[in-house]
Structure 1
Amino acid sequence: MSREGADHALRARVAERDRISGDLLDLESHTTYQVLKGASLRDATLRRWDDAQGALATLWSLYDAYRGVLRDAETIRAERSRLGGEQLEALTALLSGPSVLLKAATRPVEQRSLLPPVEERLTLDETVLRMDAAFQYATDALTEIDAVWSALLPRVDSADAALAGARELSGRLGEPVDLTRQDAELARLREAVLADPLGAGHVKQELDALVRGLERVRADLEQALAVKDEYGARRENLQAALDRVRAAESEARLAHGAVVVKIALPPQAQPRSVIPELEAELAALDVSAGSWLERSRRLAALERRAEESAARATAAARALHGLLGRRGELRGLLGACQAKAARTGLVEDPDVMRLYEQARLLLWSAPCDLTKAAAAVDHYKRAIHGGGR
């Protein structure tokens, strides 16, 4: 090297050393690195982190030797303001030659040999490449573990919050809820995430299932609290809902009475009242000595049944009235077909007249069989449209 080249190379190496030092300090101050140093790891994560720790031990050994070479180079350069031949030669050897001594690692006795340990000499460039490979291996392991913790630990926190929320609601309700199983499950999953994140692929689904289950418990408790606080008002609303069921059932009975004399109905079309059942359930609820959790479920189920019963009765009345409308549609279609027959000269055709009469008798008889009447109108329609008789 020239004197200028040696000075430039030394300045570059010093800057490189400072940059590497900063990277190593950043690694050691990384939150996940600090957690891993004190964590009780196992299985896949323990093996991966042990390998990473081995890589880091090699890195620090290389870095110490690398830094020692640069200290020697800085000492030589500081001896004189202008480099002499011997100093330049020594500085060149340190900066560009195999100046870094990598001592053989100390091995357990069962892995040793009686032969002298093999040591390596590396250039500064080779040393930096070795350090970079070890650094990348360690940071890859750190990144992989950190990614799993970042994904799973918030879920653990969510489950913990849901469990605490369920306990708080249980206390407010004044009724103990057994959460022993969920507590033990959360402890097991938390330990799995912390001790072996790389082997915790199954934990995400289990945590999500646990949170969903706890949310259901929380919803039940919230509902029970609401029922406990608002039972009087909810009961009044339920009584009003039963009144709506009565009114809807009454409308369905009236519709059935009006329709059954005009339209042939099957026996199952006769409306059946569910009011006695609903009233019996409400009376049983009033005297229930069960927990508020159970009463809230029964009350909610009864409210749903009342709404559904009113809707069914209203739909039944609408459907019954719709049968009269259907009969009117068939009568109108028969009249339109007869007019078409008159225009096409088929109105006097004996077969066409017979089909018309069959349909007319069915539609104007009481009670009317709508299924047979619809088929008769269709036969008449196809006959006058040339579709066969």
Structure 2
Amino acid sequence: MSREGAEHALRARADERDRISGDLLDLESHTTYQLLKGAALRGPTQQRWAAAQSALATVWTLYDAYRTVLRDAEQFKAARGRLDGGELAQLTELLAGSSVVLRAAAKPIEQRSLLPDADQRLTLDETVTRMDAHFREVTAALTEIDAAWTAALPRLDGADAELRQVRDLQQELGEAQDLSQAENDLKRMRAAALADPLGSPPGPELDRVARLLASARADLERAVQVKDDYARRREELSAALDRVRAAESEARLAHGAVVVKIALPPQAQPRSRAESLAADLDALDVSADGWVTRAGRLATLEQSTQEAAGQARATAKALYGLLGRRDELRGRLGAVEAMATRKGMAEDPDAVRLYEQARLLLWTAPCDLTKAAQAVDLYQRAIHGGKR
């Protein structure tokens, strides 16, 4: 090197040393590094972190050797004024030659021989390259472990918060549910995630516990709402039961009006559910069950009441629809008779016989709609030459 080149290289190495020192200090002050230093790790995480610590120890060993050479170079330069050729060569050897000496590590007795192990000699550039490789190994381990913690701990925190909400709701209701298993599972999963985030990440088991707690919270929130609004919802349910009674009354009237005109099977007789639902409501009023159970029963009763009213209205509509079906068949019969007249078949004996069979069925009370529809179809096919 020239004198200017050596001085420039010395300044650049000093800047490099300060930057590396800052990076190493930043690494050791990193939050995840500090957590790992005091953590009781196990499993794959412990193995990964042990390898990272070994790599970091190597970085410090290399850095100390690097810094020693650089200090020697700075002292050599400071002790002399203008360097002559020999001194410049010595400084150049420190800065560019294989000046970094790594002493051979002591080996266990079973790995030794009587021949000495050779020390390693590296240039400053080679030393920095090795430091960088080991440094990257440490930061990669930190990044992977930190990512595993970041993925696991917020989910566990969320489940713990859900558990606290469930406890608060239980206290508000004065009702207890046994959640000790879920609580123990969360503690166990948190301990595992802290000790071995790489090997024991919470997965389906945490999903199961989270679903259980969410379901429990939903049940308790519904119970609190029912407890607060029971009087109002009971009044609304009583009004809904009145509507069921009215709808069932209309269905019975429809059945009475239709059964004399249309042949109905026994099962077509409308069945009342209103009184049974009212009895369920009375039983709910005096129930000794907790509010979680009562909330479920009330929701079921409200749904059943709504279904009963809808079913009764549908029954009445279907019954009156049978009269419309009979009238529609009568209309078809008349239209086919008119066509028979136009085609000159009004006096055809077979056609007359089929017409009379259909007319008799349709104008007989109660009317058998199934047989009447078949009779109209037979008459229509006869007039249309076998086609409807």
Same fold per TM (> 0.5)? Answer: yes
CA offsets 1:29-67 (integer angstroms, 9 cap, x no match): 222221111111111111111111111111121122122
1:176-191 to structure 2, matched below 5 A, reads 176-191=176-191
1:273-284 to structure 2, matched below 5 A, reads 273-284=272-283
1:294-333 to structure 2, matched below 5 A, reads 294-333=293-332
Query: Could you say what secondary structure the match of 1:178 adopts?
Result: coil
Corresponding residue for residue 229 of structure 1: 228
Corresponding residue for residue 20 of structure 1: 20
1:102-251 to structure 2, matched below 5 A, reads 102-107=102-107, 112-201=112-201, 203-251=202-250
Which amino acid letter does the alignment assign opposite residue 251 of structure 2? A
- In structure 2, relative to structure 1, the CA distance for the partners of 1:167 and 1:343 (3 Å cut) is same
Corresponding residue for residue 258 of structure 1: 257
Quick check: 2:65–2:100 contact (8 Å CA) kept in 1? yes
Quick check: 2:380–2:387 contact (8 Å CA) kept in 1? no
Count the aligned residue pairs. Answer: 388
Q: Confirm whether residue 32 of structure 1 aligns to residue 3 of structure 2.
A: no
Query: Could you say what secondary structure the match of 1:138 adopts?
Result: helix
Distance 2:80 2:273 in 1: 109
Q: Which moved more, 1:271-280 or 1:289-298?
A: 289-298
Distance 1:372 1:234 in 2: 49
Distance 1:137 1:333 in 2: 90
Corresponding residue for residue 98 of structure 2: 98
CA offsets 1:340-385 (integer angstroms, 9 cap, x no match): 6666666666666665555554444433444444455555556666
Distance 2:253 2:161 in 1: 55
1:280-291 to structure 2, matched below 5 A, reads 280-291=279-290
- In structure 2, relative to structure 1, the CA distance for the partners of 1:112 and 1:50 (3 Å cut) is farther
Unaligned runs of 5+ in 1: none
Q: Taking structure 1 as the reference length, what is the TM-score of the superposition?
A: 0.88
- In structure 2, relative to structure 1, the CA distance for the partners of 1:58 and 1:334 (3 Å cut) is farther
CA-atom RMSD, angstroms? 2.8
CA offsets 1:305-359 (integer angstroms, 9 cap, x no match): 2222222222222333333334444444555555666666666666666655555
CA offsets 1:89-129 (integer angstroms, 9 cap, x no match): 12221222222222334555555555434432122222222
Which amino acid letter does the alignment assign opposite residue 24 of structure 2? L
Distance 2:14 2:228 in 1: 74
Quick check: 1:155–1:208 contact (8 Å CA) kept in 2? no
Corresponding residue for residue 48 of structure 2: 48
Q: Which moved more, 1:338-347 or 1:317-326?
A: 338-347
Distance 1:101 1:386 in 2: 114
Corresponding residue for residue 8 of structure 1: 8
Q: CA deviation at 1:144?
A: 1.6
Distance 2:26 2:385 in 1: 92
Query: Could you say what secondary structure the match of 1:199 adopts?
Result: coil
Which amino acid letter does the alignment assign opposite residue 308 of structure 2? S
Query: Could you say what secondary structure the match of 1:197 adopts?
Result: coil
Corresponding residue for residue 63 of structure 1: 63
Distance 1:326 1:347 in 2: 25
Unaligned runs of 5+ in 2: none
Quick check: 1:352–1:380 contact (8 Å CA) kept in 2? yes
Which amino acid letter does the alignment assign opposite residue 256 of structure 1? H
Which amino acid letter does the alignment assign opposite residue 240 of structure 1? A
- In structure 2, relative to structure 1, the CA distance for the partners of 1:297 and 1:120 (3 Å cut) is same
Q: CA deviation at 1:213?
A: 1.0
Query: Could you say what secondary structure the match of 2:203 adopts?
Result: helix
Q: Taking structure 2 as the reference length, what is the TM-score of the superposition?
A: 0.88
Q: CA deviation at 1:77?
A: 3.1
Which amino acid letter does the alignment assign opposite residue 288 of structure 2? A
CA offsets 1:286-315 (integer angstroms, 9 cap, x no match): 222232222222222222222222222222
Which amino acid letter does the alignment assign opposite residue 313 of structure 1? A
Quick check: 1:263–1:369 contact (8 Å CA) kept in 2? yes
Corresponding residue for residue 79 of structure 1: 79
